[in-house]
Chain A
């Protein structure tokens, strides 16, 4: 159940030393965040608080329960606001 996790340039510059793409074994978004936090301690909090997530392009608020299918692209993008 490997997912391709992608961060924006700005986010990777701030938190992962510029590394943008990761292969993560997880069944849910909670699992993705947990593994990213293991690799970059403290990153999980930033992902939860500062991003919206596009799973295979479909946009969600970050929630642990979101399923992440095999081969899914998980793209963390800046959180959005409307009027």
Chain B
């Protein structure tokens, strides 16, 4: 860790390498690829929230001129019912194949039932309309509390709750119960002078990436195929697609398209296995593209929730006990992020007695998918709201209260180990010092504070470095670039090689051209893929020194690499003029051929992320509209490789949080159908809704990374919802406990307050 030497490139703001093709419209996204003979696909989706499929007749569709292939679940192999892999991320191909293509039942409106490939999209759509599906419509459960009731309609008639001893004798929609516990809860609450307990609800919201899911698939008669798609991880697309269709991994090559946003929602597959099934059936390339309506109805939002949180503190402001119950919608198949929600809920705080209990609950909605720090923002909304109420009751400044209870390196976490790295305290101190924190507010205005925690990720990544004969350098990784990884990889490689950043070209390689690389998610890429790239760079430097030694005819140990040049390690080695990378590269052939190296790592020693934020809002008491006047977000970023991208991550996370807080929600009608499956009715924030987000970069370097990197992409979305609720409460004296805090809901809360005051 070099935290003394000034960096030449790390910490600077060069122009992004992917900017020109994106602003000129030439970047190739998932739907942009066209191939000779390519067919267009369409998917028939369920109109019902919950129904048994009695029969599917595709005969008329198959006879329509121009139709080349029709598939249903019969074209997908079935799978044994078993959970594979770790508990939180366990996947069950029995579930997954039923999500990709419904079998016995449809479990949500928009559930795929059949698919068609035809010579045009209009013919494919027409063919879908000719497929006759006979349904037996069943009662449905949308809300998580409703789905947990003993008499709720069951999505799976044989689902027994896991994590309960002894196991329940009756099936339910509760897939799993889990619990984390620390200390003695009852004894802790007995010590408390102030105890606040509240219930909360949050809405399911979509990741709302701008680019819908899209792919092109080509399978040959020899059984080998290629997939081009927009995803957060083409290696994972390959793994899931091959797993679902029982194909050898080596027979499928996946290419990463440019990606128009993912936020966790593109870490799973929907279209690719269907396109493979269609392409294999007709022997032609097939393109499948979702509409926005498809995205809303059939791809993973994050969970809605129902929660109860109780926190107790002594009169001098020390939290002595915390208890939380978190019930998350999983959607139609098990697997909500409730475990993360439980683990992160109290993580920013040093609380001696704490408990988090979670429930994973299936309901007739699309299967939830990861969304930016999955689970953590949901539980943070409840916990940070109650913390604010406790601080108010104690008449303490909310930042002072948090600082007094802040977790530091060594603090015992409710989920087991002790916290390994600090960083939280520094974010609180940054806000305390911020001049805007002292600005006086006016009538109907309020200031709210909240914090958040996210683990950040490491794991498997690969990178290759190649030195070209003109001295330019290529770095190729397996990480799709969502948050600026092409720039950050090139900057770290240039810094380490000691060359100009503009000499380094950074690309994303396909699954046959670089080693396995896990998804771009979990705030892992700059850290883990960065370590892989630097590992490869160090090998290249060693090779460059070896080549220089050959040119000078000296021992390789006598050569060192400094400031982009090979130099004699001492005068004893000889009096040689330093050789630049370009000069050595020019002698490539004579000194042994291509100069390159690969870095393959499973990067550990991850340092977590903390974010603390405050916002100022104004509430219009006539309309209930909340206007965000100011938003300041301080985040421990380790070391910002490219500060503009890091600021962008913070601003993006906060804006998504503002949308989650104020407007975004899935609105279902009485038939279990989604009434707002489009951006006109599903209200994401636009530029005019938000002020400039003031991103404060707090740099507490991670000692386990050569440049001090910590993940920065996710934790910023954890605090905004509670910060906004806390600000609204301080503006109008009304505590909102249900998201979104939309104008009708704010007005209703104001009216209820007036009514109560009048009584």
Contact = CB atoms under 8 A, between A and B. Distances in A.
Interface of A: 6, 8-10, 13, 49-52, 54, 56-61, 63, 66, 73, 75, 77-83
A9 B637 CA distance: 33
A45 B703 CA distance: 31
B21 to A, nearest CB: 26
Contact of A59 (B265, B371, B420): B420
B524 A82 contact: yes
A83 B374 contact: yes
B339 interface: yes
A75 B370 CA distance: 25
A82 B608 CA distance: 12
Given A50-B87, A59-B604, A83 B371 contact: yes
A80 B524 contact: no
B86 interface: yes
Given A50-B85, A57-B418, A59-B604, A80 B178 contact: no
15 contacts: A8-B180, A9-B179, A10-B179, A50-B90, A57-B409, A57-B417, A58-B704, A59-B420, A60-B604, A61-B459, A78-B86, A78-B87, A79-B86, A82-B373, A83-B372
Interface in B57-95: 85-90
B381 to A, nearest CB: 16
Nearest to B86: A79
A82 B458 contact: no
B664 to A, nearest CB: 16
Interface in B205-226: 207
Nearest to A11: B87
Interface string B676-714: 000000000000000000000000000010000001001
Given A80-B522, A83-B264, 6 more contacts: A59-B608, A61-B602, A77-B415, A78-B343, A82-B456, A82-B523
B374 A82 contact: yes
Nearest to A6: B416
Interface of B: 85-90, 163, 165, 178-181, 207, 263-265, 267, 337, 339-340, 343, 370-374, 409-410, 415-421, 454-460, 521-524, 602-606, 608, 704, 711, 714
Contacts of B264: 82-83
Interface of B is mostly: loop
Contacts of A13: 165
B605 A61 contact: no
A50 B459 CA distance: 14
Nearest to A18: B165
B460 A49 contact: no
A6 B264 CA distance: 31
Contact of A54 (B88, B337, B417): B417
Contact of A81 (B374, B416, B603, B604): B374
